[in-house]
Amino acid sequence: MSEARDKLLNIALVGNPNCGKSTIFNQLTGLRQKTGNFPGITVEIKEGRMQFPSGRQAILTDLPGTYSLYPTSSDEKIVASVLTNPKDAHYPNVVIYVADATHLEKHLLLLTQLLDLDIPVMMALNMSDTAEEIGIKVNAGVLADRLGIPVVAISGRTGANIQKLIAEIEKLSDSTAFSEKHFYPLQEVEKQVAEAVCLNFSLTNAYQALLLAHHYEWLPFLSEQNQETLRAIVQDKGLASLRFQVDETLDRYDRFTPIVQEAVQRPPQFPSTPTDQIDAVVTHRWWGPLLFFFVMLLVFQAIYDWSTVPMDWIEQFFAQLNVWLTDILPVHWSTDLITDGILAGLSGILVFIPQIAILFFLITVLEEIGYMARVVFIFDKTMRRFGMNGRSVVSLISGGACAVPAIMSSRTIGNWKERLITTMVTPFISCSARLPVYAVLIGLAVPDKRVFWIFSWQSLTFGSMYALGVVAAFASGYLMKKVLHTRESSYLAIELPVYRIPHWRNLWLTVWEKVGAFVIGAGKIILVISMVLWALARFGPGDAMAQAATKARQEAQKQQLNQTEAADLLAAYQLEASYAGYLGKVIEPAIRPLGYDWKIGIALIASFAAREVFVGTMSTIYSIGSSEDAFILREKMKKARFEDSGTPVYTLATALSLLVFYALAMQCMSTMAVVKRETGSWKWPLLQFSYMSLMAYLLAWVVYNVFA
């Protein structure tokens, strides 16, 4: 889109958080959009093409929500950075300012700052239908006259007046005259600073020059020499940045408040609305959290129930495709690469799509109706004690189904530090991939005896794995809160919107975007790692694989095994002789203190693809790969002995140690790929892998020695 940017009109959507920008963006662009990152920054940017009635096209950029050009978060800094740099690729020719008609006064601070930048601006007065429903009448004509800009009353939810908005945008873009109304008269010190900055940086707009002086320490497009020049100007003129920002904000409110009073007619007393009645329960001190956990339980259960059938279809499709390709392709390592490497990797990517789609569908529904804003309000104070915020609750609970979509849902967290901590601790929550491991190991070593006539030791052990993950997540969050430092201030500033029916087109576009981001972004990394793991299990040093095949055939003939049993035995022998088996034996000295042998070592390595691979790997090792029957597997594991001592491998201590290890360790390449994509760097997923593995190892060692 960069080539088109040089030729097409560049329009920016700007507004406060939760003003409905994203819905309007979807209304204006439809599927003609893409999502990327700002250069060098992990904050996402959405761009799309919009078409005017004349047939002309323009590029529409949805900038992150911000309350003013004096930012307090990384998202808000993006907007200030773009609007203070005319050379920025995203610098707009025209700005569509989206304001909430139900809370208009709160939205005019940023608008008046935009007007002072001399950028052509028009106002999209969103949620006008909602304003009328609650008795608020906004005179768009008065606003247009007093502000000196076009004002169009619209509804992003219903699409009302969207075509009129598009026509007004084209008219404004064709006009050479636009509002030059400046709301804020600079104080004497500010004038001197602005004049000096304009002189040194060849600028013509005084307010833009003043913003450079306020933000020179962090603006990414300024060179060190530019920063030194601005620092010298600020110090020489005595610009006390924070004090002048506060004075400017108060002055702007004094100037636009009378405009709001003239243009907005409110009822003498707001009646008790359905929103007020619902909030009496939803935001209640006790009922609110209980209701939230019930809602999330339904979401959690839906992810399980609704995704089962489509996930089974995907797995069956790839299984049948695998069989078909195996039948028609020659017996060769390249065939194995396609069937066991590439297809297995693709299956591992696409099988997550139902869970991701369902999660984001339900979360977007809750967001669209206005419920998620209440969740932030209810849990924000508690979660801040652990370095997160209210929105983190959604990610943590969603992690019980799958960490991949749960981490992706953390994008709704505005503060960089809180978003990062949420991303880093979410994998501690026991996901559905751990369930097969828990089922085998608990059934193997934990007795099925009742406690207090209700619960069994097995169910208590199963529940304790979830509790262990929750404790680890909160403890890690608390430690990261102490270690990570950021200048971003963290506070709760959120509007509680009225409850409304979701805009279904916007909902489906959001789900489409999230699923596409996973398949393209994380999918290619998963595919590469799948192929690497296949190679490790397929090849071995020297002629080790050939010797293993010969040994397996001789053993099969000796035991008079059928074709299926012989194939399982061959797979087990070749796995032991492969590079993966070699690595399992290499790491055996390191894992022996935990009670593990080299076979468990192979499972640990293979489980990096996905935790549930543990069961399939152990089935292959114990020559039951074709059936993968959990009962048969447990019986064979019970008979396993250490080769040097002859003592049983799978004692209670070993089983509990393995449970703790799998509950805490980062053994999911899908999760690592998503963390890399969300953070924009391999540093964080590698750090996450290291500290989770270290914690898993140490606690597994403690558990083994306690129960040994």
Residue-level pLDDT at 626: 45
Whether 113 and 238 map to the same domain: the answer is no
Residue-level pLDDT at 490: 57
> In this structure, what is the dihedral angle of CA atoms 556, 562, 564, 567, given to the nearest 10 degrees?
20
Whether 378 and 510 map to the same domain: the answer is yes
pLDDT grade for 33, boundaries at 50, 70 and 90: low
Is the pLDDT at 359 greater than 50? The verdict is yes
Closest Cα partner for 627 from 553, 579, 571?
571
Residue-level pLDDT at 622: 59
Answer whether 574's CB lies under 8 Å from 603's CB: no
Whether 606 and 552 map to the same domain: the answer is yes
Q: Is residue 275 part of a domain?
A: no
Q: What percent of the chain stands above pLDDT 70? A: 84
pLDDT grade for 522, boundaries at 50, 70 and 90: low
Structural domain of 372: 287-432+455-486+502-516
Answer whether 59's CB lies under 8 Å from 4's CB: yes
Residue-level pLDDT at 631: 59
Structurally, the chain folds into a number of domains equal to 4
Q: How many residues does the chain have?
A: 708
Answer whether 158's CB lies under 8 Å from 133's CB: no
Whether 199 and 110 map to the same domain: the answer is no
Beta bridge partners of 155: 160
- State the pTM of this model: 0.65
Alpha-carbon Rg for the chain, nearest whole angstrom, is: 30
3-state SS of 47-89? EEEEECCCCCEEEEEECCCCCCCCCCCHHHHHHHHHHCCCCCC
For residue 649, what are its two tokens? 């491998």
Whether 587 and 666 map to the same domain: the answer is yes
Whether 361 and 481 map to the same domain: the answer is yes
Residue-level pLDDT at 349: 67
Whether 509 and 534 map to the same domain: the answer is no
Q: Is residue 317 part of a domain?
A: yes
Q: Is residue 687 part of a domain?
A: yes
Is the pLDDT at 506 greater than 80? The verdict is no
Answer whether 462's CB lies under 8 Å from 442's CB: yes
Average pLDDT over residues 28-42: 54
Q: Is residue 389 part of a domain?
A: yes
Is the pLDDT at 98 greater than 80? The verdict is yes
Residues ≥6 apart with Cβ < 8 Å to 78: 38, 41, 43, 45, 63, 64
Whether 6 and 35 map to the same domain: the answer is yes
Is the pLDDT at 667 greater than 60? The verdict is yes
Residue-level pLDDT at 40: 39
Domain boundary among 125, 146, 174: 174
Is the pLDDT at 171 greater than 50? The verdict is yes
pLDDT grade for 3, boundaries at 50, 70 and 90: very low
Answer whether 477's CB lies under 8 Å from 425's CB: yes
pLDDT in tens, 276-319: 677 777 777 788 888 887 887 677 667 667 877 887 888 788 87
Whether 317 and 428 map to the same domain: the answer is yes
Q: Is residue 441 part of a domain?
A: no
Q: Is residue 536 part of a domain?
A: yes
Residue-level pLDDT at 207: 95
Average pLDDT over residues 164-191: 82
pLDDT grade for 383, boundaries at 50, 70 and 90: confident
Domain boundary among 111, 145, 174: 174
Q: Is residue 437 part of a domain?
A: no
Q: Cα–Cα distances in Å, from 174 out to 56, 80, 94, 99, 452? A: 12, 26, 10, 23, 78
Among 559-573, 614-628, 690-704, where is mean pLDDT lowest? Answer: 614-628
Is the pLDDT at 269 greater than 70? The verdict is no
Whether 255 and 293 map to the same domain: the answer is no
Q: List phi, psi (to 5°) of 152.
A: -125, 125
Give the range with max mean pLDDT: 209-213, 429-433, 648-652.
Answer: 209-213
d(CA 307, CA 331): 35
Whether 36 and 148 map to the same domain: the answer is yes
Whether 369 and 481 map to the same domain: the answer is yes
Mean pLDDT over each residue of the chain, to the nearest integer: 81
Answer whether 480's CB lies under 8 Å from 424's CB: yes
pLDDT grade for 562, boundaries at 50, 70 and 90: confident
Domain boundary among 174, 200, 228: 174
Q: Is residue 449 part of a domain?
A: no
Could you tell me which residue, 577 or 422, shows the higher pLDDT?
Answer: 422
Residue-level pLDDT at 480: 92
